[in-house]
Chain A
Amino acid sequence: MIGRSGNLRIAIEALRSSKWRSLLTMLGIIIGVVSVVTTVSLGEGAKRGVISQIEQSGADLITVRPGITENNDNKTSGLVGSNYNGTLSNRDLEVIRKVPGAYSVVPFSYVANTASQEDVIFNKGLVIGTTGGLPQVLGQKMQYGTFFKEDEPQRDTAVIGQRVAEQLFGENVPIGKFMTIRGKQFMVQGIFEEFDTSALVPGTDYNYAIFVQYDTGKELTGDSDIYQILVRPKKDVGSSVLAADITKALQKSHANQEDFTVLEQKDKLAEANNLLTLMTGFVASIAGISLVVGGIGILNIMLVAVTERTHEIGIRKAIGATNKQILNQFMTEAVILSSVGGVIGIIMSLLTNYLFRIFTDLTPILTWPIMAIAFGVSVLVGIIFGVTPALTAARKRPIDALRYE
């Protein structure tokens, strides 16, 4: 396309001679590229966050929930009790414990959603009844104090997430302090390390959770419903094998009624991925509109340039330029406009990325493929929107072009 005919030089010369116009035309592409690239890299960052969070808590974690829905979208919904059309009971817990591949099995029961200390009321989180295997199952360490031991005698103590410590007690290490849950005093015996979360992860934010012993919780509510059971397989057992075994065992105990859901972590992963990809794609395509607008800017300015340079086209044709050579000349110019715009846009998005990292909690990730695609797309925009003006130029009749002043 550029070849020996020096179109590149001609194009650069032409663009330089009207610097402001070229720059303003490029601005459309620059804004388009920056918005698309930033959106995609934000989405990419969120995706990585979700994946690392899910993997940290164990990629082989299995979640058993009561009820079943045909609708896949609700499957991973982290909202408690969102689809109770079945129950899980202590008997189910025992059944799962007896499945050979299960290494540790931890039930979650919903106890309350309010805790208070003096006149501070905390109602942003949940009070969850659970057993001693939780830190192991979630792969989460304690920052201060200890979690309940398995087979520990029943005590009125609680383990809390960091947000609870901050918001209920207003300090980082409220170990030994008391709070009231449903009229009963609980002493804080441990605080979890901060759980990795991102706003985009479906699931409960355990930083806002208060954990009490399973049996204590049951006594408090008089309820034996379990809203989820977390199972970690033994080391040499695959999570899908175990999930199948659990499903079979539960079916047997529920008289072949499938009123429960067995979720593998990788389901969650795939689901979260799908959701984020969809969201990113949606926002990016809206941002992509600005790229189209940028392209129309190029179209417009190239049409003006072709009209302005009609006489020049005439001269070039008179001394022997073919239609194709004229076409190439103007195509080169359009593509230079869009691709230089693309490069500047990519550089600007790198800058935007750093600004995001510095001033917000978001961690956008800008990978080489994203940049390469962004560049490719901007070149493509130049080609698509450059064709019409270039064809107009190429098809001018030499004598008409030459006479044009």
Chain B
Amino acid sequence: MSSVEAWFGALPGLLNYWVAIILLVCGLIIVMDSRNLIKKLIGLNIFQSAVFLLFITMGKVSQGHPPILPSIPRSIMPAAISNFSNPLPHALILTAIVVGVATTAVGLALIVRIRRAYGTIHEDQIADKPEVEPEIMP
């Protein structure tokens, strides 16, 4: 029994990082491989969120709490600091998530316009369209 518990206790180890890396690779494969522009963008989202997972995992402290202090004005005791997870990665990833959604929005707007111009959002079909030199530049 105790050995099972010990095994479980040691288990997360690097697992979170590995899963984050696998997700990162999945996202990258979708981005590289997909011919549908929307799917490409979703692949990008997976890719980014894998990096977010990596950041958040490194901020975790075992048996820790969310970094919200129980008592407001007083500083917490130095000994109690290790009871809280690291707030800095959280702040960074909040920013990064926002950056990610901003990129997604711009990408989607571009997709809408590609569709209006080419009538399709599939890269193979876009490639079928006549090759045109950018010659009207009045």
Task: Please say whether chains A and B are actual partners in one complex.
Answer: no
Q: Give me the interface of B with A, judged by CB distance under 8 Å.
A: none
